[in-house]
Structure 1
């Protein structure tokens, strides 16, 4: 009797061998992963009261799980990027996606234990692959992109995060309220599984992306242009969060909005994020350096305008959407600039962008809170945010001049 032979596994093609439709589908799969990340990151805020009730704690104590996720992002983004430079990018992206599945599955199972500490640990694990996923996915999309379309490719993947604020978070929150908060994270697990399966079968070998070592990746930390770019993102993007964090109080107490209409205001933010991300990709491909300057100037302008328009419900909501639009416009340009100035340490540099954005969240919220605590009102953080954008412009000036000088010398 002859032994039964299994069919040979079809080898994965190289990135230079795939068709344009397949490239777009792979990028769409990456965008689904970004959509799931955006959903799991932001839905916790809306479900916090349910989580607090389930674990028998106050909301401020339950709020520590948000900090736990952010801690995972800040640690995991540069740490994973530095330690996995030698792994093929396809394999690394699959491992990161699996880590996201595992972390959110543990979040669901934490409900069974009844322990808030277990839930916090699960959220840290969920946050660890966050930044590295965006780093590797963005770099992979840029590597597969036709010449002159790197910004659009990165924006396409990042669009998933923006769309999540409009669609994913409200849907997951509604599911969590109907079926219990763990159901929201179960939905996220299903989305990550879809992403994982699609990448497993369709993502090519990223042969144009060089393997790097630990020392090579750490070399990004020795480059002044990397730090200047990270500073632009941390300071400039913080202005948006100085307003976003306190938007409910601003619109309800200052503009007189019925709290029941707050989802519509947040939808303006989500739509602005989606369109701004798309627009930012095109600006990055058109003129990278001046695209960053344009975004920072407009962030400062719309934040100042928000202070005055926030007394009116309609104008304030539209202006809030513009804050999101120009904030999101900045992200693709910063990502590409980091790729360009990091040399061979692109993975760590791109991951630092995610750390910068999370630090911007903390910086903007803290500064806005300090301004309100000083008695200047809920709209005053807009002025503080404009100051942050202006400070980022001051960082851009030497960064631009030094880079222009180094390119001229080269």
Structure 2
């Protein structure tokens, strides 16, 4: 395993922590800044929308620049955003400057980082390499989010953002030391060539599945602290430990999903999305049972994140020789889904649906993702094109090795 993958995973850990830890701290943030649950949820959905903007805008701007310099620069901006969040005196400043500044770097980092990760290994292991990079996100959930939530509950939510700032500095050092410093290839395809990927309808199908599938999980996860305390009857002190279980599920699902996607992308997505749909419905029905909640929370994390390597591999394969902007677009789609799920979940709560209503919202979005995927694969078969199946996909990614 190339050490550079560890550097990317370390960066992903810091970014994943700032994205997800806020969910466990929403009650504390809402109380301290005197805003409603739905307004506090905007710290998640606003972040997600900003990730989408950065994933497309910044990726397009830096497409021809040295990848190591770009990723390091993005991490510096990420550190600045978390420093602002730690110091923000008001909800408006936290949302409009701290969270958004951090989020703008997120999308471009993972979009470009996924392409770099795929370029560092042989073709048959590219989905696994992408999974390892995104493993930083899942590790953040296993270790960082519960500990960050506990830290925020004990010392105030601002202390968590101070800790994230320090982690960002360590991640930056790791990337500066471990990432290969490759000169810019003057013959690399430019932005105009990257845009050609969007002529393929399968790229758009992939974006649709990503928005709905990931939006489904986040429709439920955004308000999970309220569900755990308000429906399942857990004390707030239990929330960090329960988030560890959710993170363990994400970690396992991400790695196993990457291995499965190296064999069959479409089969992996069908199985995982179908399972996620069943889990969310069961969770909504059984949230009053603490035992069922523990099991289903872990399963939701596992199946929710098992989609990530397959979705990223699918769109990069269909993008062919122009994968960078398509990869960034899929990161944007992940976060548009996050924002959509958080927004709809908040509307459901505000409408009086209770704290299980976001789970029903998540189930509906996941069902939509499964439907789009079935339509996409049927369209591919009618066109006589090979499925996005592991090694069948990978020859289309050879240009990555030349252009990173």
Where on the TM-score scale, by shorter chain, does this alignment land: which range? 0.7 to 0.9
Distance 1:70 1:294 in 2: 26
1:62: how far off?
A: 6.2
Distance of 1:259 and 1:50 partners within structure 2: 10
CA contact (8 A) 1:254 1:311 kept: yes
TM (norm. structure 1) is: 0.83
Q: What is the correspondence of 1:56-95 to structure 2 with a 5 Å cutoff?
A: 57-58=34-35, 65-95=43-73
Shift of the alpha carbon at 1:377?
4.8
Q: How far apart, CA to CA, are the structure 2 residues paired with 1:258 and 1:198?
A: 38
Q: Residue 320 of structure 2 is aligned with which of 314, 338, 343? A: 343
Aligned counterparts of 1:381 and 1:183: Cα–Cα separation in 2: 29
Tell me the distance in 2 between the aligned counterparts of 1:236 and 1:98.
31
- TM-score norm. by structure 2 comes to 0.84
> Conserved in 2, the CA contact under 8 Å of 1:284 and 1:291?
yes
In 2, Cα distance between equivalents of 1:208 and 1:89: 8
**What is the match of residue 165 of structure 2?**
189
Look up the match of 2:291: 314
Structure 2 unaligned spans of 5+: 388-395, 397-404
Counterpart for residue 364 of structure 2: 387
Residue 165 of structure 1 corresponds to: 141
Superposed displacement of residue 406, structure 1: 4.7
Answer whether contact 1:78 1:351 (CA < 8 A) is retained: yes
Deviations 1:19-70 (A, max 9, x none): x5xx1x221111111111111123334455666677x653566665445433
Q: Which residue of 2 aligns with 1:398?
A: 375
Equivalent of residue 10 in structure 2, options 22, 32, 36:
32
Structure 1 position 281, deviation (Å): 0.6
| 2:248–2:298 Cα contact (<8 Å) kept | yes
* 1:248–1:106 Cα change, 3 Å: closer
Query: What residue in structure 1 maps to residue 401 of structure 2?
Result: none
Describe the shift of the 1:292–1:62 C-alpha distance in structure 2 as closer, same or farther (beyond 3 A).
Answer: closer
Distance 1:68 1:206, change over 3 A: same
Q: Distance in 2 between matches of 1:137 and 1:42?
A: 19
Counterpart-to-counterpart distance in 1, 2:354 and 2:26: 26
Q: In structure 1, what is the equivalent of residue 391 of structure 2? A: none
**Greater relative CO, 1 or 2 (CA 8 Å, sep 6+):** 2
RMSD of aligned alpha carbons: 2.9
Deviation of 1:158 after TM superposition, in Å, equals 0.7
Query: 1:215: which partner in 2?
Result: 192
Whole-angstrom distance in 2 between the partners of 1:381 and 1:121: 27
In the other structure, the counterpart of 2:281 is: 304
Distance 1:37 1:224, change over 3 A: same
For structure 1, the residue ranges without an aligned partner over 5 or more in a row are 1-19
Q: How many residues align?
A: 384
* Structure 1 segment 184-333 matched on structure 2, within 5 A: 184-206=160-182, 211-333=188-310
| CA distance in structure 2 between the partners assigned to 1:198 and 1:156 by the alignment | 16
Distance (Å, rounded) in 2 between the aligned partners of 1:371 and 1:63: 12
